[in-house]
């Protein structure tokens, strides 16, 4: 079983990750991991911290000569900003008064965390509850992604809404109708290695896949991108923050990951659990999700077809690739709603933890909007879950064992 833990504080010396259950003999591309870490730090609306940090993974254990050993993988990501915070965050003897926080921010872990763990300084909470922790999960996800790529499983994401700016009046409908079909067809071509056989028009359409990477807000539509940027500009001018919606597609997942036999083995439940654990995520839907509640069954369920070439297949994917808690062989489609960041430069009212008097909430350096970055975290968290379930079904100690079982299943 593939499992992982993270450790570290936002302004501490380093972030740490460990993975156990990763098979042996998997070649690891460190440059790709660092590219994924860099993707998380991009996005219009990010704060000053991103100008300081340049995240790099340093493997401490579990690799030799560029390949995994099958033993636990341990790594760290150094916090460059620690040099400015060392005297305040030193594990042995820290200066606690100057950076002391007693005015908890509404919407954050501040107050409840302080009450739960018995702190009179909220910094003890916010340093760990910070979304800085997701850098480790991106590193873990990048390792999982490299494993899944060996089995033709690919993951990508794009932003479909920020504030009131979206790809359409109904982001879900627009995403399914305008994006899903086009992108899936182009990704099929990419995975099948048939790109060179496509027409010039089809090659041009394939660039749709790359637009999210080129966009400051990870939006594949130029008009929507411009509107999103304007929303962020206005929010920043007003001392506000913005949330939004991003979408994850996982292509090439074989049927049968997850299970219907027990509630805690359902794939959609596991994906929702992990994605909801990302800081700021307040909603997760699979496929058409909430939209299906107002539709007739005949318009919701994906009819089944068969031919010798494609075997069992669907012409629609309203279920988002998961039925009965199991992957059904179609593209897994997930949308996540992120709330606005709790730190506001026009702070909300709160109560001082010590004096119990009314006050304005503390202000920490923060982003105006982190939805584009969250979409990268979502990618990596989702592909980690897929890797866990893939190894549960096809698992072995080495990549060679796993590949044999996967081929036999197919």
Q: Domain limits of the chain?
A: 100-409
Q: How would you write the pLDDT of the chain (410 residues) with one tens digit per residue?
A: 899 999 999 999 999 999 999 999 999 999 999 999 999 998 888 665 555 668 999 999 999 999 999 999 999 999 999 999 999 999 999 999 999 999 999 999 999 999 999 999 999 999 999 999 999 999 999 999 999 999 999 998 999 999 999 986 444 444 444 444 444 444 444 334 333 333 443 344 335 656 899 999 999 999 999 999 999 999 999 999 999 999 999 999 999 999 999 999 999 999 999 999 999 999 999 999 999 999 999 999 999 999 988 789 999 999 999 999 999 999 999 999 999 999 888 899 999 999 999 999 998 877 899 999 999 999 999 999 999 999 999 999 999 999 999 999 98
- Candidates 3.40.50.2300, 3.40.30.10, 1.10.10.10, 3.60.150.10; correct CATH number of 100-409? 3.60.150.10
pTM of the model: 0.89
- Sign, CA dihedral 165-166-168-169, equals negative
Tell me phi and psi for residue 149, to 5 degrees: -60, -30
d(CA 144, CA 24): 13
Q: In what helix (H) or strand (E) does residue 69 lie, and over which residues does it extend?
A: none
Tell me phi and psi for residue 156, to 5 degrees: -150, 165
DSSP 242: B
d(CA 241, CA 234): 10
CB 46 within 8 A of CB 373: yes
Strand bridging mode 73-78 / 14-20: antiparallel
DSSP for 56-68 reads -EEEEESEETTEE
All residues at 6 or more sequence positions from 326 whose CB lies less than 8 Å from its CB, including other chains: 255, 256, 257, 258, 259, 260, 266, 267
Place of tokens 């206005």: 234
């Amino acid at each position: 079983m593939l499992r992982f833990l993270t450790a570290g504080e936002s302004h501490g010396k380093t972030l740490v990750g460990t993975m156990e259950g990763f098979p042996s003999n998997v070649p690891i591309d460190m440059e790709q991991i660092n590219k994924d870490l860099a993707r998380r730090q991009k996005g219009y609306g990010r704060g000053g911290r991103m100008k300081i940090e340049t995240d790099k993974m340093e493997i401490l254990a579990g690799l030799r000569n560029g390949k995994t050993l099958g033993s636990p993988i341990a790594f760290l990501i150094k916090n460059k900003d620690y040099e400015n915070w060392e005297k305040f965050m030193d594990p042995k003897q820290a200066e606690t008064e100057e950076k002391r926080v007693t005015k908890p921010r509404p919407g954050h872990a501040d107050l409840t965390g302080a009450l739960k763990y018995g702190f009179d300084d909220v910094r003890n909470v916010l340093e760990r509850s910070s979304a800085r922790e997701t850098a480790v999960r991106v590193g873990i996800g990048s390792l999982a992604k490299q494993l899944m790529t060996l089995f033709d499983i690919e993951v990508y994401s794009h932003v479909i809404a920020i504030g009131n700016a979206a790809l359409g009046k109904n982001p879900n409908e627009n995403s399914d109708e305008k994006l899903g079909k086009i992108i899936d067809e182009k990704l099929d071509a990419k995975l099948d290695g048939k790109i060179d056989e496509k027409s010039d028009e089809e090659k041009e359409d394939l660039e749709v896949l790359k637009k999210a990477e080129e966009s400051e807000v990870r939006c594949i539509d130029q008009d929507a991108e411009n509107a999103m940027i304007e929303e962020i500009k206005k929010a920043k001018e007003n001392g506000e923050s913005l949330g939004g919606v991003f979408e994850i597609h996982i292509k090439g997942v074989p049927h049968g990951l997850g299970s219907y036999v027990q509630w805690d083995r359902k794939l959609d439940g596991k994906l929702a659990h992990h994605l909801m654990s990302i800081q700021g995520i307040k909603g997760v839907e699979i496929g058409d999700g909430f939209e299906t509640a107002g539709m007739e069954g005949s318009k919701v369920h994906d009819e089944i077809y068969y031919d010798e070439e494609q075997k069992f297949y669907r012409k629609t994917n309203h279920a988002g690739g998961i039925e009965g808690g199991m992957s059904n062989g179609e593209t897994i489609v997930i949308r996540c709603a992120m709330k606005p960041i709790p730190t506001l430069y026009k702070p909300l009212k709160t109560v001082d933890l010590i004096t119990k008097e009314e006050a304005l909430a503390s202000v920490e350096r923060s982003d105006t909007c982190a939805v584009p970055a969250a979409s990268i975290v979502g990618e990596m968290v989702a592909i980690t879950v897929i890797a866990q379930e893939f190894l549960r079904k096809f698992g072995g100690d080495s990549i060679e064992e796993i590949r044999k079982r996967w081929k036999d299943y197919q």
